[in-house]
Amino acid sequence: MRASLVRGLTTAAIVGALTLPAIAATQLTGAGSSFDYPFFSKAFYIYSQKNPDVTVNYQSIGSGGGIQQFTAKNVDFGATDVPMNAQELARAGQPVLQIPVALGGAAVAYNLPGVSQTIRLTRETIVDIYLGKVLKWNDPAIAKVNHGVNLPDMPIVVVHRSDGSGTSYIFTDFLSHVSGEWKSKVGTGKSVSWPAPSAVGAKGNEGVAGQIRSTPGAIGYVELAYVIENHMPAATLQNRAGKWVACTPENVAAAAASKPEVSATNFSIVDAPGANSYPVSGYSWVVVYKKPADAGRAKALYDVLSWLVGPSGQSNAKSVDYVPLPVNVQNAASATIRQMQR
């Protein structure tokens, strides 16, 4: 009887292992940005419902990871909120196409028990919080622009990403634009050495959002969709034009509109001019090889990406609180994808 148990298990494993290729549809694997994850998980789900023979397995491991796994050729495509730079492209060893696929904003979310109003923060104050100069929620720098809000005497817990993250890049890019001190002391990057004394790292946008929700007094930067999905309060920020702007799809779109031409080498839209521009906005990119190794998968990959940047793919963006790519960027993206050898 015991033997039959073991035998049963063994048979199950063998049968499981052998029936596989028979059912095999084309499976594409992608990895990277957790900024993109809610959008991709929705879009690829819709896509595989329409095209049952193709599945796209996307794992949210951070932009740094996306580039790393793409360069190591462990995945078919990578997704990153920062295009690969010259050094990273050189490491890839063959021509890479970088395609903008999503537009989003990093909201500055917080957890302040007992405060129902939306907090306002100036650009300089955010820098000072992340530099560790503003340590309490009732600091005059915060109180000054939040009249009538009963700010608690509570230490600010800064939450940042522990993984290599494009969201971190966009956020630190914004901080560097605002403050020379940040630029020289810390800099812009997917992973930086965070100077604030009371800071906690968390994995992925998911992790940061989770950490903020569970830590009273916490503040952190999280992709807009995560904030809306979780009904988390997010600060209204002052933009370069001096206007107070909330992190909304419209204001992110306004920031994008301020710079109609984006390319893999000129992509930053943080701290954009314009009255409605949300200052912590950015594009997210998919990276693929111009000549993918496996021709059969190349065709499937081409189809998926063409769909994704086209109107029907982008129509999924709104439903998960992303901003559809501006039409001119959609066209540019399609043109880039057409360079793929398939």
Partner 1 sequence: MSVKYQRLGFRRAYGAFGTMLALFCAALAAAALLAILGYVVVQGIGAINWAFLTQLPHPVGVPGGGVGNGILGTIIVIGIATLMAVPVGLLTGIYLALFGRGAIPEALRFLSDVLSGVPSIAIGLFAYAVLVAPLKHFSAFSASFAFMMLMLPLLVRTSEQAIRSVPQTVREGALALGMSNFRATVFIVLPTARPAIITALLLAIARVTGETAPLLFTAFGSQFWEKNPNNPMAVLALQVFNYAISPYPNWQAQAWAGALLLVVAVLILSLGARLMLRNAMRGLDS
Partner 2 sequence: MSTDTGFRRVARFVSPADRGFAAVVYGGSILFALLIVALFVELVIGAWPSIVAFGPSFIWKSSWDPITSKFGALPMIYGTVVTSFIGIALAAFVGIMAAVFLSDFAPRWLATPLSFLIELLAAVPSVVYGLWGLFVLSPFVRTTIGPALQHVLGWTPLFSGPIYGVGLLTAGIILALMIVPTVTAISRDVIAAIPRDLREASMALGATKWETATRVVLPAARVGIFGACILALGRALGETIAVTMVIGNRPQISASLFAPSYTLASVIANEFTEATTSIYISALIELGLILFVVSIVVNALARVMIWSVRGSR
- List residues near partner 2 by CB under 8 A: 31, 61-69, 88, 155, 157, 162-164, 187, 189-194, 198-203, 211, 214-217
DSSP codes, 76-96: SEEEESS---HHHHHHH-S-E
**46 three-state secondary structure:** helix
Smallest separation (angstroms) from partner 1 to the CB of 85: 23
329/323 Cα distance (integer angstroms):
12
Can residue 207 be called a binding residue for partner 1 (CB under 8 A)? yes
CB proximity list for 84: less than 8 A, separation 6 or greater: 67, 92, 96, 98, 264, 287
Three-state SS string across 268-323, please? CCCCCCCCCCCCCEEEEEEEEECCCCCHHHHHHHHHHHHHHHCHHHHHHHHHCCCE
- Of the pair 131, 340, the CB lying nearest partner 2 is at 131
Give the span between the Cα atoms of 36 and 39, in whole angstroms. 5
Q: Which listed option, partner 1, partner 2, none, makes contact with residue 199 (CB within 5 to 8 Å by class)?
A: partner 2
Residue 12 vs residues 2, 3, 22, 24, 118: alpha-carbon distances, Å: 15, 14, 16, 19, 56
128, 141 Cβ separation under 8 angstroms: yes
Structural element, H or E, at residue 201: strand 199-202
The stretch near partner 1 (CB under 8 A) out of 80-88, 178-186, 223-231, 328-336 is: 223-231
Helices (H), the chain: 2-18, 20-23, 37-50, 63-71, 86-92, 123-131, 140-143, 166-178, 180-185, 204-214, 224-229, 249-257, 295-309, 311-319, 327-337
190 versus 259: smaller Cβ distance to partner 2: 190
Nearest residue (CB) to partner 1, 71 versus 277: 71
Binding partner of residue 189 among partner 2, partner 1, none, CB cut-off 5 to 8 Å per kind: partner 2
In the bound complex, what is the minimum distance in angstroms from residue 173's beta carbon to partner 2?
Answer: 13
Q: Which is nearer to partner 1, 134 or 219 (CB)?
A: 219
Nearer to partner 1, 69 or 176 (CB): 69
Residue closer to partner 2 (CB basis): 114 or 148? 114
As measured in angstroms, the least distance from the Cβ of 134 to partner 2 is 14
User: Residue 239: which of partner 1, partner 2, none does it interact with, CB under 5 to 8 A by kind?
Assistant: none
**Pick 198 or 339: Cβ nearer partner 2:** 198
**Footprint of partner 1 on 41-100 (CB under 8 A):** 41-42, 44-45, 48, 55, 57-59, 72-75
Binding partner 1 by CB under 8 A: which of 4, 21, 147, 266? 21
The reply to whether 226 sits near partner 1 by the rule CB under 8 A is yes
Nearest to 330 by CA among 220, 312, 319, 219: 312
2 binds partner 1 (CB under 8 A): yes
> For partner 1, which stretch binds (CB under 8 A), given 82-90, 126-134, 209-217, 299-307?
209-217
Written as six digits, the tokens of 174 are 């914004």
Q: Which of 320, 323, 332, 340 binds partner 1 (CB under 8 A)?
A: 320
Strands 281-289, 77-80: parallel, antiparallel or unpaired by DSSP? antiparallel
CB atoms closer than 10 angstroms to residue 90? 9
Q: Where on the chain is the footprint of partner 1 (CB under 8 A)?
A: 2-3, 6, 9-10, 12-14, 16-17, 19-21, 23-24, 27, 29, 31, 37-38, 41-42, 44-45, 48, 55, 57-59, 72-75, 202-204, 206-207, 209-210, 213, 225-226, 229-230, 232, 319-320
